[in-house]
């Protein structure tokens, strides 16, 4: 993979997961690994450097959020393709090659995402559609109870069988491979998204710029969910809903924006519901 694929990992108090993540991409044959540290305080970077002295560490000095961290890492990239990944992802040995082959095969594809499994073996819906307003509302509220509803199934693409790679609207930012030239052409991530929706926005802007987004289930990674969320759950809930509002506004023209008061009210209600539910769950765990 030398000279073809480099890796950017954004770290924030990922503990031993960071070491395992970098080990996994090394096993996949990747030489250029850049870790951007968003002011971690858990010693994870020190453990990584001890384990892998060749890694490049970029100290952000503050928590830039995910997109901001990736952008800092991209500035250090020299390889043609860039694997962007969370620090709590373990990459299968053949996944990087499988993703690179998708980009090699079609110059119009700018971003390709792998199949993402959770630790218990469940499939994470890593390939999705851009939500229409009706699907977004249905998923936002019915999805809190059960994602097996028609709105969530359509948005999460759980009604689509995984038999082969295909074009999709967007893939999860937890792990994807992109052309460095495609990311440069659209200016990388929009750093106004602190957390959440930055991947949706990236793929949306890439598609508007003429790049295709693909999903390749033949490439597999395992993702430990929720490290950042569990550390600061209420801040992350607020960031998630702020990002939802930002993406809706960006992708909605007039006269759709006249619905802004209703959208803001709906997101505020959902935030309250999720905050209360989180507080109850947290109390129950004490």
Residue 267 within a domain: no
Number of domains composing the chain:
1
pLDDT tens for 51-68 read 999 999 999 999 999 999
When pLDDT is averaged across residues 267-271 and rounded to a whole number, the result is 83
Is 263 within 8 Å of 245 (Cβ atoms)?
yes
Q: Containing domain of residue 86, as a range?
A: 5-226
Residue 51 within a domain: yes
pLDDT tens for 75-85 read 999 999 999 99
Categorize the per-residue pLDDT at 159 as very low, low, confident or very high, splitting at 50, 70 and 90: low
Residue 158 within a domain: yes
Alpha-carbon distance 186 to 206, whole Å? 7
pLDDT of 46 strictly over 70: yes
SS (H, E, C) the chain: CCCCEEEEEEECCCCHHHHHHHHHHHHCCCCEEEEEECCCCCCHHHHHHHHCCCCEEEECCCCCHHHHHHHHHHCCCCCCEEEEECCCEEECCCHHHHHHHHHHHCCCEEEEEEEEEECCCCEECCEECCCCHHHHHHHHHHCCCCCCCHHHHHHHCCCCCCCCCEECCEECCCEEEEEHHHHHHCCCCCCCCCCCCHHHHHHHHHHHCCCEEEEEEEEEEEECCCHHHHHCHHHHHHHHHHHHHHHHHHHCCCCHHHHHHHHHHHHHHHHHHHHHHHHHHHHHCC
**Choice among 8-12, 31-35, 163-167 with the minimum mean pLDDT:** 163-167
Question: What is the predicted pLDDT for the residue at 223?
Answer: 94
Residue 265 within a domain: no
Tell me which range, 32-36, 123-127, 237-241, 277-281, is most confidently predicted by mean pLDDT.
Answer: 32-36
pTM surpassing 0.85?
A: yes
**CATH number of 131's domain:** 3.90.550.10
Percent of the chain with pLDDT over 70: 83
Residue 256 within a domain: no
Residue 113 within a domain: yes
Residue 286 within a domain: no
When pLDDT is averaged across residues 27-50 and rounded to a whole number, the result is 96
Categorize the per-residue pLDDT at 286 as very low, low, confident or very high, splitting at 50, 70 and 90: very low
Residue 149 within a domain: yes
pLDDT tens for 170-222 read 999 999 999 999 999 999 999 999 888 899 999 999 999 999 999 999 999 99
């Amino acid at each position: 993979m030398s000279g073809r694929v480099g890796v950017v990992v954004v770290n924030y108090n990922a503990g031993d997961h960071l070491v395992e993540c970098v080990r996994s991409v090394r096993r996949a044959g990747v030489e250029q690994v850049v870790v951007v540290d968003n002011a971690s305080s858990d010693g994870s970077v020190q453990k990584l450097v001890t384990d892998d002295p060749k890694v490049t560490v970029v100290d952000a000095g503050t928590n830039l959020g995910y997109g901001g961290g990736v952008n800092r890492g991209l500035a250090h990239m020299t390889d043609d393709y860039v694997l962007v990944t969370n620090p709590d992802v373990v990459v299968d040995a053949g996944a990087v090659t499988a993703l690179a082959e998708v980009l090699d095969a079609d110059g119009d594809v700018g971003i390709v995402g792998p199949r993402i499994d959770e630790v218990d073996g469940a499939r994470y819906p890593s390939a999705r559609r851009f939500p229409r307003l009706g699907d977004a509302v249905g998923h936002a509220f019915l999805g809190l109870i059960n994602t097996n509803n028609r709105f969530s199934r359509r948005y999460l693409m759980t009604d689509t069988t995984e038999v082969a790679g295909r074009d999709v609207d967007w893939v999860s930012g937890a792990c994807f491979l992109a052309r460095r030239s495609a990311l440069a052409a659209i200016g990388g991530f929009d750093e106004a998204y602190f957390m959440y929706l930055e991947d949706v926005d990236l793929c949306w802007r890439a598609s508007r710029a003429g790049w295709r987004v693909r999903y390749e289930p033949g490439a597999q990674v395992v993702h430990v969910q929720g490290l950042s969320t569990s550390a600061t759950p209420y801040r992350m809930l607020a960031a998630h809903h702020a990002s939802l509002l930002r993406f809706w506004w960006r992708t909605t023209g007039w006269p759709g924006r006249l619905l802004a008061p209703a959208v803001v009210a709906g997101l505020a209600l959902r935030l309250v519901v999720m905050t209360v539910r989180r507080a109850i769950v947290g109390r129950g765990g004490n």
